[in-house]
Each structure stands twice: as structure tokens, then as C-alpha cells.
Structure 1
């Protein structure tokens, strides 16, 4: 049995104890034959009605305070029956305090199912009515009857609502934990999808480029074509290995590794590539994020530009990181990534940077060049 189930069972038996006490106490008094048979039957009927209603509505309240049925006429009728039974016994010599619990039970379960905004005024009115009946019908014991009615209402209402409030908090906490788990799963799925897109897009673009190049070289330079075909096979093996690492959840690519991979792929495509700055200075929590930026930028250079030169610039100052990928390709085709579906391409990259307070910028450099810029910092 889980701790929540144990708490539910404990809460239920605690709040139901009031009805059990009333049933046992009143039955004991009725069996003592203090009342005529018709009167005893009427009182027994009243006790049965109140206890059944109390049990029924408290079970509904176990779903949470204020979540039970609000049948106002039914509540009013049950309360009237409880007051009538209390009035019929309050003036008896040596009346049992258990009869004062009868209206208190109704006050407790009505307060449990009412919403918070109406609970207090309704409970106060019902408590005053219980005390007033004790004073009106208590006879020589009017004062004792009033004190007893007020005490029973206060004790039962506070005890039941306190227990139900604790249970309600436990349920809310459990639901919050379940929601947090669901969000964590969704976040991990998005991260996985983004990493998979970055890896597959990067390598597949390079494989397609080298495959086309090898195809064109067949019959013209077979040796070079074989070399490019071998590089295609190596790229495919690398993509397969990294995909497996992502699936297994072990992939933690560093920015330095991604820059080295990007330089190798771009140079293999005939694009002169330079690197400025030290990737090792980038804070570890931001390494995978900027690694994704470099992968996406490299893929876009291969896919959308006719670049001859490319530069990767890493700038770190006081924990704030700026990474730029510049190329001298024609910028007209680079706008296409913005049309990628949300969660892929530049759109997905912007979302990932936004989660850490960073941003991604794309645009021309002033001439025929184009650049992709990512900015983020620890604690931003």
C-alpha cells in the first residue's frame, strides 16, 4: 500500500469516527428505554438519516474540499431533522451530550462540500442555529445545552475540515508531482527530437553532398570518387554511432568537438574554415547548447549557401558567451530555415536558447556574407 493510500484510509476513518460515535451513543440511549416507542422510533430514524448523509458527503469530500454535491435543499432538510432530534432531547433530565453531535455532524459535512467562499458564513449560521435550539428547548439545562451544542459543532467541524484539508494538500501535491513528471518526460522528448534533428540533418546533408560529388567524379577521377565514397561511409557510421548515443541518453557533445566536426565537414566540402576563440572557456552547462548552434549553422551553410569561406568565432566574457558562424555565401537562400516547422531547425534552436535566457540572431553581415549568432550566459 502506498503512503498516499495509507493517508487516505487514515483520513477516512478519522472523519467517519464522528458518525460512528453518534450512532453508538444514541443507540445506547434509545435502548435504555428513556423514551416512548413512537418517539424512540422517530429519533432512531433521525439518527440513521444524519449518519448516512454524513458518511455519504464526507466520502465525496475525500476528492477534495469543496468538490462534493451542493444540494442545498437536501442539506437544509437533513439539518432540520437533526435540529428536531436535538430539540426533542435537549430538555430531558440528564440529556446525553451525544445528541448535540447530531446537528454538528450535518454542519461538518456541509462545510466540507461547500466552496471556500461560502463555507464560513454557512457554517456560522448553522452553528448559531444549533446553539439557539439548545437554548430554546433546553429548559432548566438551557445553558448547558447551548454550551454543548456550540462545543460539539466547533470540535467536529475543526477536526473534520482539518483532516480533509491535510488530505486535500496531499492530493494536490501528488497531482503536482505527476504533472511535473509528465512535463519532464515531454521536455526530454523535445530535447531528444532536437538532438536527433541536429545529428541527422548535419550528417545527412554532408553525406548527400559527398555522394553527389562522388557520382560526378565517376569516370573522370575514379580514385577521388572512391575516396569520397569512403568518406560517405565513414559519415554514415558516425551518424549511426551518435544516433545510438542519443537514444541511449549518453550523448554530451562539447562545443570543441562540434567545432572540430564542423571544420572537417566544411573543409571536405571545399569550404575554407577558420576558428577563433577557445571553446573550452564556454561554461559546461552551455556546451551542448552552443554545440547545437554550430551543428545547425554548419548544416545551413552546406544546404543553403555557396560559401567559399566560413569562420567560427567564440567569445566568452564574464560568463556571457557569444558564438558566431560567418560565411561568404549568397544570403538569399538562407532565409529558408525560418520556414522549418516549430521544434526543428532555427525555430527549435531559438526555443532552446530562450529556455536559458539566450537568443539566436541570423542575418547578412553587410556584404554577401551571412552569419548565425547565438548568445547566452550562466545565470541569465
Structure 2
């Protein structure tokens, strides 16, 4: 587990854990730069022990507070920003330590790491809307501490030195703040991408479930409609023509057996639609219902990738004709050119009160759209003749 970041932190995969650990340790290990001023003083021969202790305390303060600020910054979605008073007091103390380094050291550059490291942690621990203003304020305060300490400086330096050191510490503060924010921003972007991947996987599962539901709806609706039609016909033939009734009852049993077999195939994902068989079945079923059906076009001209798609449209159109119309004729047309394949069912006997597209057509539209096509169902009025047209088209990919 990454220290400083809670167990609820996003990114549980191995790669995400490694990146999170890298982000954490790269931010924390920068704190080692705070030890340079202590080592610089310890290397001298005339440093009073009290001064060395105070400098070591400033170093420990820098490291501890930076780690705390960074930890809270990485948990930004789970905890509020840190207290402003803590930020202000911590930065004021390390800025004073920086001013002391300017006053006593001939080369105070390493002391600029103290306010810079704390500045990076503070910026991560404030709200995103305040980061720019807080960074600029800390840069100004660090530069002002440098200029305020210059009158107490014992080492000789030119007139340019105060302004150079003030600009240097301001640049350090800005660079460390930008570095820390960029590092955390990169981590946040990776987390968002990882979350997007998870959402995409969930959507893929949802689409597959919808596809399965649409296939099951098409098959069950088609077969149940046929079974109901055959059952009604068998009921009318009993007592009038027993031989025909027995024949219809046998077909009814076969339809039920086929429905069960197709349902099992859909469940196991093995069902492949044969467009020719779908059209033949639709012609037989509509013929049994008294619908004169004419087929135009050759199923062999429909590319194999579109066979199942067009078969689903024919199956849905046949079910809709039986369920929502009093049709006496139907025209089924297949057209294919070099760029587009089309299928169209046109039937009469339309009830204007029941022409709204159902869930079956909505599911077909989604499946056609996945292949770059579209489905349209519309009522066509030509004088006294009113027909319903269900058509679909999809690009041909050879």
C-alpha cells in the first residue's frame, strides 16, 4: 500500500499501483534536498552547535510538512484543503531559515531549497482555483526574505547579488510548484483514463446485454406469433378438417421445437442467421396468415457480414405485420450495389392508430448504426392506399 494515500485511492491494477508509488516517492524524495543546508553548515569549522540545531530543525520541518502536504494533495478527492494558517506558518519559518542562509553563507543557493520544497507541498494542498495566486505570493515572500537579509550579510557581494538571489529563489519556488503540480496532474489524467476504460468496459457489457435481449426478442416474438397463428388455425380446423388440423398441430409442435432450439443457440452465442431461410420462413408464415408476399432481389447478392442484420430486419418486419396490421399483401425487396445494401418491407392494412415504432425497431436501429447503417419505419399515404414501409441500409464492405 502506498503510504500517505488511502485504500480508497483509485487505480487498483498493478500498473496503476506502480505509477501511484512512483508519483508518491518522486514527490517525497525531493525532500532530501532540504538536507543540503545542514550538510553545508556541518562541513564548516566555526558553526555554533545552537545554529546547527536550529538549521536541522528547519530541515526536519521542511521534510515533515512537505510530506504531509503532498499526502493530502494526493487525496484531494477525499479530504478538504489543508488549513491556511498551517501553510502560512510553515512557509514563514522556512523563509526565515532561507533569509538566515543568505546572511551567513557565502553561497546561500542550497538554502533556497527550503522554501521551494515547502511551496510545492503547499500548492498541492490548496484548492485548484487558488494555486496560481498562492504560488506567486510565496515567490514574492521568498524574494522579500532574501532582500531583507541582505543588510546583515557578512560576505562581500556585488550590487547585482541581492537581486540575483531574490530572482533565483523566486524561480526555485515557481519551478518546484510547477513540477509538483504537473506530476500530480499527470497522475490525475491517468486515473481519469483508467476510469474511462472501466466505464467503456461496462458499456460494452451493457451493449452486449442489449444485443442479446434484442436477438431474444426477435426470435421469441417471431416464433410465438407463428405459434399463436398456427394454434388459431388448428382450433378452427378441428371438427371441420381433422387431417388438416393434425397437419397444423404437427407444424405447431415443430415451431415450438425450433423456437426452443433457436433460443438455446442465442443463449450460447452460436446462432447465425441465414437470410434465405429467414425470407422463406417469412413468406410461409405470412402466407399462412393470408398475406400475399412477393420477394424481389437475390439474397446471394447481400454480403455475408450483413446477412444476419438483414435477417433480423425481415424477422422483425414479419412480426410487426402479423401483430400490428391487417395486411393482405407485402413486398420484400433486396437491393445491392457497389456501396450500399438495402432491404425493404412494404405492407398494406395499416392502422394509423398503431404505427409508432416499438422497441424491436429501436434495437434494429442500434444494430444497423453499429455497422454505419440506419433503419427507418414510416407510413406512406398514396390516395386511399396506405402502406407501412420498414427499410434498412448498410454500407457494403468487401
Work out whether the TM-score is over 0.5.
Answer: yes
1:184-230 deviation per Cα after TM superposition (whole angstroms, max 9, x unaligned): 11111111111111111111111111112212222322222222122
Retained in 2: the 8 A contact 1:66–1:116?
A: no
Retained in 1: the 8 A contact 2:303–2:396?
A: no
**Partner of 1:338: helix, strand, or coil?**
coil
User: What is the deviation of 1:300?
Assistant: 1.3
Retained in 1: the 8 A contact 2:361–2:375?
A: no
1:136-172 deviation per Cα after TM superposition (whole angstroms, max 9, x unaligned): 3142465474465245435533443343233223222
User: What is the deviation of 1:291?
Assistant: 2.4
The whole-number CA distance in structure 1 between the counterparts of 2:237 and 2:140 is 98
Partner of 2:141: 129
User: What is the deviation of 1:251?
Assistant: 3.1
**Partner of 1:311: helix, strand, or coil?**
strand
CA RMSD of aligned residues (A): 3.3
Q: Is 1:346 aligned with 2:364? A: no
Aligned pairs for 1:42-191 within 5 A: 43-62=55-74, 69=81, 71-94=83-106, 97-114=109-126, 118-138=130-150, 139=153, 140=155, 143=162, 145-146=165-166, 149-150=169-170, 152-153=172-173, 155-191=175-211
Q: Is 1:374 aligned with 2:391? A: yes
Retained in 1: the 8 A contact 2:113–2:172?
A: yes
The whole-number CA distance in structure 2 between the counterparts of 1:379 and 1:72 is 64
User: What is the deviation of 1:379?
Assistant: 8.7
**Partner of 2:389: helix, strand, or coil?**
strand
1:301-333 deviation per Cα after TM superposition (whole angstroms, max 9, x unaligned): 1122233332211223442333221223x212x
1:217-254 deviation per Cα after TM superposition (whole angstroms, max 9, x unaligned): 22322222222122122222222222222222333425
Runs of 5+ unmatched residues, structure 2: 1-12
Q: Is 1:34 aligned with 2:47? A: yes
User: What is the deviation of 1:94?
Assistant: 4.7
**Partner of 1:220: helix, strand, or coil?**
coil
Q: 1:336 aligns with which of 337, 351, 354?
A: 354
CA pair 63-228 structure 1, distance change in 2 beyond 3 A: farther
The whole-number CA distance in structure 2 between the counterparts of 1:115 and 1:84 is 25
CA pair 155-242 structure 1, distance change in 2 beyond 3 A: same
Aligned pairs for 1:251-330 within 5 A: 251-328=271-348, 330=349
Retained in 2: the 8 A contact 1:61–1:113?
A: yes
User: What is the deviation of 1:345?
Assistant: 2.6
**Partner of 2:377: helix, strand, or coil?**
strand
Partner of 1:208: 228
Retained in 2: the 8 A contact 1:65–1:168?
A: no
User: What is the deviation of 1:8?
Assistant: 1.2
- Please say which of residues 173-182 and 318-327 is displaced more in the overlay: 318-327
**Partner of 1:331: helix, strand, or coil?**
coil
TM-score normalized by the length of structure 2:
0.80
The whole-number CA distance in structure 2 between the counterparts of 1:75 and 1:84 is 14
Runs of 5+ unmatched residues, structure 1: none
CA pair 181-86 structure 1, distance change in 2 beyond 3 A: same
- Please say which of residues 236-245 and 252-261 is displaced more in the overlay: 252-261
TM-score normalized by the length of structure 1:
0.83
Retained in 2: the 8 A contact 1:209–1:269?
A: yes
User: What is the deviation of 1:70?
Assistant: 5.7
